[in-house]
């Protein structure tokens, strides 16, 4: 069907590219301590991108089984090309299939019973720790096939398997609500319910007692998850080639300059085996690489898809990512923060006299991402007193500027971990941030 | 289609089965900066079967509408694996209905070239303002036709429409970058996106004006929220707590959210309605075939209702409200808000301002988030208030607090009212849904402002 659509499209267009995806997914969920639902999702769809009279056209459809459906898809792409942007790219002519390992037959072989057992084990571990926990658990497996082919013969095809296990607990005391969650995901059948449950239990125990915090400036230790929720979003925006092209990135003019603390190195890496953000190529057929965005504090590269790179006069970086119904745009694969020499999380806590740990900052992503200003409610965090955790902080906001914070790093931990599937980072201790709280 | 669906529903052994098939068509035009970035159309066809057996749910979704009966038995056998108690769904009288979309000015009758010309003119308008760094302009329209049937004898064909235009502006002066936005949405009239040049210009000028703003001091302040921000507050802070799926299996939250409890002053009324004409959170029937309506959540300060699916209403022994909504055919419905509002009170804005010695006037928003008892949202535009008068502009103002204390701290509700013309999109459980938020101005005696 891919070839058939490509043939039809190249009859009217100079260049054509077809992206076909199909996936089957089996998510099961437990709610309020018991199994709630089993879902089975099948989906498939085809995206057509063309260049006609030098302009880009796009169509996407999941209605593909009737005669005439493919012609209708070509027609909609041709119609949109009348008004489309001028094409500034050449699609690759290499067909890339090798490289990274993202398929594990053991994931494909997981049965419903296996997934139920994974979820049940996580649930039991949590419930056995504390009968007051109200737990939700989700386990899922997905197998997807992707085929990309363009009229120059370039493209890719790959199969990806993903298994995930997530759990959250709610603990309500009076009007005091505590929600703690953890989510693990991999392309390999390697998920440990024990590890997921342990992570949640540790956070709950650290948060079980109320700490006290005053409005002032203090060191703030971001766990990998906390880092992702508070400081990374402005950077993701600033390194995006589109933001740079529009002149809206505060880093746009600073390529090659030291902007961040020299301890900070961040990669975008699509070549990590078994990581959900990895694949042989991006969604335009450009092979993926590991690229330093920040190296020892220096701004090294921005990320581009083909069209954005063409407009900016920059090299494509293999970051053309798309949801099937829209054009490729710069997107990250796996964000990797290089470990430092600060030791374990406990070592980092041990070095702070008075400060807080941020596990998750709520709402920090909603600030003005362009300026780097952020301000988030510490949804889950703890007070540090004399090198020890001293209870949960609540009704507290942490605020600052992401650029200033990452220029003023006291230490980077030595033990990175995955947070949320495609972000791999150690904890980072920022020397000084504003913490405000409700008085009285 | 009706015959195929009803045929597939004929023989099954579940407590409840429903089939939902959807055809959708959508158009999008986006600009980044002065340049058109993308024009495209999407056509979708897909469906699902959902079944309940002994309190467990099975759900099967697909793009190929074949062998519906086989999909019914797959969903039923999945549900059977899960269930080990009683299916409790509230009873809803069966409905046979056909709901056609009635467009005042139909976006699908407007040629793509004309839509593009209109958006071109907005892009030009934005770029007349000096110090604009970049902008985004997005036009979208959508049409959805849904065939719904369930094993209680309901069959509904329902069409829905949507047209939106959204504008984001970024202004920059050296390292200082500020943004603002505007938007317009309707479920029934293309003309809401026409003739918006003055609004677009105002958004551009606001982004530039915010370049001169200062970050706020952190701490607790008296704040006035404008109607857009107060509407988001109603949605984020109270609306989510009123979604019964959060409450029905959480005994402790049930105690907190017990009907009859007082949450605020007698001037406080909060509603959720699916019947406001033209808003994108409105519809005739929800995705379980339940008629929509208007539900009071808080009336005269007292908790009087919440939002339900068939299951949560059944389990809590309350009346159905028609709040089960699914993003698309590929996912099961969740309990979602529709158009949520604080109803107007009696206090003029001037009287509120006069109350404030040292506080913040907060307008419009970038986003909001809640973790049940805690909420946070970020203001797009804010001003210090000193001795009852508006003073210097502030940037990066984030408000945060505990829902219960903040509701108690609402000391006045304005005599004005507006729905956010942009409409909203609410995310929950990985699904997004169009919603509406509205309110008059609101005065809060104490609210935590994040500062530097």
End of a domain among A203, A237, A254? A203
Q: With bands split at pLDDT 50, 70 and 90, how would you rate the model's confidence at A368?
A: low
Interval B245-262 mean pLDDT:
90
Residue B359's pLDDT band, with cuts at 50, 70 and 90, is very high
pLDDT reported for residue B452: 54
Q: Are residues B363 and B435 in the same domain?
A: yes
Lowest mean pLDDT among A420-424, B115-119, B383-387: A420-424
Based on the fold, state whether residues A7 and A105 are members of the same structural domain.
yes
Instruction: Judge if B204 and B232 occupy the same domain.
Output: no
Token pair for residue A119?
A: 């979820």
Task: Give the pLDDT mean for B392-409.
Answer: 91
Rg for chain A, CA atoms, rounded: 24
- Nearest CB to A326; choose among B38, B249, B332: B38
> Residue B374: its pLDDT value, please?
82
Partner residue opposite B400 with nearest CB, options A82, A242, A397 = A397
Per DSSP (E only), the strands in B280-350 are 294-299, 302-303, 324-325, 334-335, 339-342
Q: What angle do CA A64, A68, A72 make, to 5 degrees?
A: 80
Same domain, A369 and A337: yes
Instruction: State whether B61 and A177 contact (CB < 8 Å).
Output: no
Whole-angstrom Cα distance, residue A149 to residue B330? 26
In this structure, the answer to whether residues B77 and B132 fall within a common structural domain is yes
Q: Tokens at residue A269, please?
A: 């890496």
Count CB-CB contacts under 10 A for residue A258. 15
* Domain CATH for B147: 3.30.2290.10
The mean predicted confidence, pLDDT, of chain B is 93
Residue reference for tokens 């450009």: A286
- Take residue A153 and report the two structure tokens written for it: 């013969």
Which of residues A203, A235, A265 is at a domain's end? A203
Look up residue B388 and give its DSSP letter: T
HEC secondary structure over A265-297: CEEEECCCCCCCCCCCECCCCCECCEEEEEECC
Q: Are residues A380 and A243 in the same domain?
A: yes
For the cut 90, the answer to whether the pLDDT of residue B8 exceeds it is yes
The residue out of A166, A181, A203 marking a domain boundary is A203
CA-wise closest residue to B433 among B287, B230, B293: B287
The 10 Å CB-count burial string (b at 16+, else e) for A68-91 is: ebbebbbbbbbbbbebbbebebeb
Q: Give yes or no: residues B224 and B133 share one domain.
A: no
What's the predicted TM-score (pTM) here?
0.88
- The answer on A390 and A263 residing in a single domain is yes
Residues 6+ apart with CB under 8 A from B9: B17, B19, B72, B149, B150, B151
Joined tokens for residue A10 = 């190249």
Cα distances (Å, whole numbers) of residue B7 to A74, A80, A253, B19, B319: 34, 39, 64, 11, 30
- Report the number of distinct structural domains present in chain A: 2
Residues B304 and B189 reside in one and the same domain: no
Same domain, B117 and B167: yes
User: For residue A206, what pLDDT band results from cuts at 50, 70 and 90?
Assistant: very high
Residues 270-299 of B with CB under 8 A from A: none
* Per-residue pLDDT tens over the stretch B296-351: 999 999 999 999 999 999 999 999 999 999 999 999 999 999 999 999 999 999 99
Shared-domain flag, residues B208 and B340: no
Summarize pLDDT for A1-20 with one digit per residue, the tens: 999 999 999 999 999 999 99
Question: Is there a contact between A368 and B366 if contact means CB atoms under 8 Å apart?
Answer: yes
B270-273 and B339-342 strand pairing: antiparallel
Beta strands in B274-349 (DSSP E): 294-299, 302-303, 324-325, 334-335, 339-342
A141-199, pLDDT tens digit by residue? 999 999 999 999 999 999 999 999 999 999 988 778 899 999 999 999 999 999 999 99
- Residue A383 CA to residue A397 CA, distance in Å, equals 13
Which of B42, B142, B315 to mutate to probe the A interface, most A CBs <10 Å? B42
Chosen from A40, A59, A358 to mutate, greatest number of chain B CBs within 10 A: A40
In tens, the pLDDT along A57-102 reads 999 999 998 889 999 999 999 999 999 999 999 999 999 987 899 9
Q: Are residues A226 and A166 in the same domain?
A: no
- Percentage of residues in chain A with pLDDT exceeding 90? 86
Phi-psi category of residue B372: left, alpha or beta, with phi > 0 → left and psi -120 to 50 → alpha: left
Percent helix / strand / coil, chain B, rounded to 5: 25, 45, 30
A414 in the same domain as A432: yes
**Could you tell me if A138 and A282 lie in one domain?**
no
Answer whether residue B19 shows pLDDT above 60: yes
Q: Which residues of B touch A175 (CB under 8 A)?
A: 256, 373, 402, 404
Contact B449, B376 (CB under 8 A): no
Query: Which residue from A242, A326, A399 is facing B450, i.e. has the nearest CB?
Result: A399
Per-position DSSP letters for A150-214, written without gaps between them? ETTS-EEEEEEEEEEEEEEEEEEETTEEEEEEEEEEESSS---HHHHHHHHHHHHHHHSSB----
What's the average model confidence in pLDDT over B92-117?
93
Mean pLDDT on A116-129? 97
Closest CB from A60, A177, A398 relative to B373: A177
Banded model confidence at residue B174, pLDDT cuts 50, 70, 90: confident
Q: Which of B212, B246, B277 is the last residue of a domain?
A: B212
pLDDT tens digits for B183-239?
A: 999 999 999 999 999 999 999 999 999 999 998 988 899 999 999 999 989 998 899
The answer to whether B253 faces chain A, any CB pair under 8 Å, is yes
Co-location of A149 and A11 in the same domain: yes
Tell me, yes or no, if B81 comes closer than 8 A to chain A by beta carbon: yes
Three-state DSSP at A236 gives helix
Q: Are the beta carbons of B58 and A401 separated by less than 8 Å? A: no
Question: Do A363 and B396 count as a contact with CB atoms less than 8 A apart?
Answer: no
User: Do B242 and B157 belong to one domain?
Assistant: no
A113 to chain B nearest CA, in Å?
10
| Same domain as A246, residue A338 | yes
The residue of chain B nearest to residue A50, with distances taken between CA atoms, is B40
pLDDT of A282 strictly over 90? yes
> What element of type H or E holds A6?
helix A2-10
Query: Can you give the residue range of the structural domain that contains B92?
Result: 2-212
For residue B424, what are its two tokens? Answer: 């909203």
Please report which confidence band the pLDDT of residue A438 belongs to, taking 50, 70 and 90 as the band edges.
confident
Q: For the residues A328-356, what does the mean pLDDT come to? A: 97
For residue A364, which of B27, B396, B302 has the smallest C-alpha distance? B396
The per-residue DSSP string of B53-81 comes to ETTEEEEEEESS---HHHHHHHHHHHHHH
Q: From chain A, pick out residues whose CB is under 8 angstroms from the CB of B175.
A: 250
Q: Are residues B109 and B231 in the same domain?
A: no
- For residues A231 and A131, state if they share a domain: no
- Taking contacts as CB-CB distances below 8 angstroms, the residues of chain A near B393 are none
Quickly list DSSP for B163-218: EEEEEEEEEEETTEEEEEEEEEEESSBGGGGSS-HHHHHHHHHHHHHGGG-BPPPP
pLDDT in tens, B288-308: 999 999 999 999 999 999 999
Give the mean pLDDT of chain A.
94
Same domain, yes or no: B89 and B149: yes
In this predicted structure, the answer to whether residue A367 has a pLDDT above a threshold of 70 is: no
Kindly tell me if the per-residue pLDDT of B133 is higher than 90.
Answer: no
B206 shares its domain with B234 = no
Gap between the Cα atoms of A148 and A20, Å rounded = 6
- Which chain B residues have a beta carbon less than 8 Å from that of A36? 56-57, 82
A263 and A192 share one domain: no
The torsion angle over the Cα atoms of residues A148, B27, B18 and B424, rounded to 10 degrees, is 110
Task: State residue A365's pLDDT score.
Answer: 63
Q: What is the pLDDT of residues A232-275, one digit of tens each?
A: 999 999 999 999 998 889 999 999 999 999 999 999 999 999 99
Q: Are residues A280 and A386 in the same domain?
A: yes
Q: Do A371 and B28 touch (CB under 8 A)?
A: no
ipTM attached to this prediction: 0.84
- From chain A, pick out residues whose CB is under 8 angstroms from the CB of B74: 40
Q: Which domain holds residue A40?
A: 2-203
Q: Are residues B192 and B259 in the same domain?
A: no
Tokens of A312: 């900016």
Tell how strand B96-99 and strand B155-173 pair up.
parallel
> Pairing between strand A335-337 and A423-425?
parallel
Domains in chain B, number: 2
B432 has pLDDT over 60: yes
Is residue A44 within 8 Å of residue A16, measured between CB atoms?
no
- Length of chain B as a residue count: 452
CA distance A36 to chain B (A): 5
């Amino acid at each position: 069907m891919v070839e058939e659509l490509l043939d039809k499209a190249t009859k009217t267009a100079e260049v054509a590219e077809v992206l076909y995806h199909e996936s089957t997914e089996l998510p099961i969920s437990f709610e309020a301590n018991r199994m709630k639902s089993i879902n089975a999702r099948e989906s498939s769809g085809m995206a057509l991108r063309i260049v006609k009279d030098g302009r880009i056209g796009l169509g996407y459809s999941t209605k593909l089984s009737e005669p005439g459906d493919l012609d209708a898809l070509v027609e909609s792409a041709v119609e949109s090309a009348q008004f489309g942007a001028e094409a500034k790219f050449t699609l690759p002519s290499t067909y890339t299939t090798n490289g990274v390992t993202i398929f594990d037959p053991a994931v494909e072989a997981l049965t419903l019973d296996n997934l139920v057992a994974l979820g049940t084990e996580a649930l039991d571990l949590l419930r056995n720790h504390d009968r007051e926990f109200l737990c939700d658990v989700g386990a899922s497996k997905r197998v997807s096939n992707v085929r990309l082919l363009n009229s120059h013969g370039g493209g890719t095809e790959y199969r990806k398997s993903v298994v995930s296990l997530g759990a959250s607990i709610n603990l309500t005391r009076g009007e005091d609500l505590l929600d703690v969650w953890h989510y693990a995901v991999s392309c390999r059948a390697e998920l440990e319910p024990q590890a997921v449950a342990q992570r949640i239990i540790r956070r709950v125990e650290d948060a079980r007692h109320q700490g006290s915090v005053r409005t002032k400036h203090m060191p703030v230790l971001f766990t990998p998850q906390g880092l992702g929720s508070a400081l990374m979003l402005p950077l993701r925006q600033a390194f995006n080639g589109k933001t740079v092209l529009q002149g809206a990135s505060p880093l746009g003019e600073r390529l090659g300059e030291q902007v961040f603390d020299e301890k900070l190195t961040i990669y975008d890496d699509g070549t990590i085996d078994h990581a959900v953000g990895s694949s042989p190529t991006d969604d335009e057929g450009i092979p993926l690489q590991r690229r330093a965005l920040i190296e020892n504090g220096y701004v090294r590269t921005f990320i581009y898809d083909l069209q954005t790179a063409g407009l900016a006069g920059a090299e494509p970086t293999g970051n053309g990512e798309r949801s099937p119904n829209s054009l490729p745009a710069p997107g990250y694969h796996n964000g990797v923060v290089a470990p430092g020499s600060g030791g374990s999380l406990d070592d980092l806590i041990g070095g702070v006299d008075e400060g807080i740990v941020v596990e998750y900052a709520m709402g920090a992503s909603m600030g003005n991402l362009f300026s780097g200003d952020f301000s988030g409610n510490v949804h889950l965090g703890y007070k540090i007193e004399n090198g020890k955790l001293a209870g949960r902080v609540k009704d507290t906001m942490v605020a600052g500027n992401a650029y200033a914070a990452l220029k003023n790093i006291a230490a980077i931990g030595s033990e990175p971990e995955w947070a949320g599937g495609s972000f791999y980072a150690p904890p980072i201790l920022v020397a000084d941030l504003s913490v405000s709280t409700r008085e009285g | 289609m009706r015959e195929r669906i009803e045929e597939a529903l004929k023989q099954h052994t579940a407590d409840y089965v429903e089939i939902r098939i959807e055809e959708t068509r959508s158009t999008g035009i986006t600009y980044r900066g002065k340049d058109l970035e993308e024009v495209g159309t999407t056509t979708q066809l897909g469906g699902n079967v959902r079944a309940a057996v002994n309190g467990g749910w099975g759900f099967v979704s697909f793009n190929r509408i074949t062998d519906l009966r086989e999909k019914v038995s797959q969903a039923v056998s999945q549900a059977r694996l899960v269930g080990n108690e009683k299916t409790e769904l509230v009873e809803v009288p069966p409905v046979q209905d056909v709901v056609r979309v009635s467009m005042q000015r139909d976006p699908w009758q407007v040629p793509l070239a004309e839509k593009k010309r209109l958006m071109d003119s907005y892009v030009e308008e934005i770029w007349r303002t000096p110090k604009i760094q970049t902008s985004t302009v997005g036009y979208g329209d959508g049409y959805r036709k849904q065939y719904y049937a369930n094993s209680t004898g309901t069959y509904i064909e329902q069409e829905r429409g949507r047209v939106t235009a959204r504008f984001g502006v970024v202004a920059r002066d050296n390292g200082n970058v500020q943004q603002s936005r505007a938007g317009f949405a309707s479920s029934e009239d293309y003309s809401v996106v026409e003739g918006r040049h003055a609004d677009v210009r105002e958004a551009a000028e606001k982004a530039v004006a915010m370049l001169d703003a200062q970050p706020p001091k952190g701490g607790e302040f008296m704040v006035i929220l404008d109607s857009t921000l107060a509407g988001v507050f109603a949605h984020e802070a109270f609306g989510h707590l009123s979604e019964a799926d959060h409450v029905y299996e959480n005994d402790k939250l049930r105690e907190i959210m017990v009907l009859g409890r007082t949450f605020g002053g007698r001037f406080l009324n909060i509603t959720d309605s699916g019947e406001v004409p033209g808003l994108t959170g409105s519809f005739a029937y929800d995705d379980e075939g339940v008629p929509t309506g208007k539900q009071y959540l808080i009336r005269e300060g007292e908790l009087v209702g919440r939002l339900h699916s068939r299951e949560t209403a059944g389990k809590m022994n309350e009346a159905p409200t028609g709040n089960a909504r699914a993003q698309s055919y590929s996912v099961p419905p969740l309990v979602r808000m529709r158009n949520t509002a604080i109803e107007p009170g009696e206090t003029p804005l001037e009287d509120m301002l006069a109350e404030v010695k040292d506080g913040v006037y907060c307008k419009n928003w970038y986003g909001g988030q809640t973790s049940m008892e805690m909420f946070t949202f970020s203001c797009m535009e804010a001003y210090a208030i000193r001795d009852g008068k508006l003073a210097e502009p502030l940037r990066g103002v984030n408000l945060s607090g505990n829902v219960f204390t903040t509701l108690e701290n609402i000391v006045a509700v304005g005599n004005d009212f507006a729905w956010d013309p942009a409409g909203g999109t609410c995310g929950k459980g990985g699904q997004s849904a169009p919603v509406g938020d509205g309110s008059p101005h609101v005065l809060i005696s104490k609210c935590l402002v994040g500062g530097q």
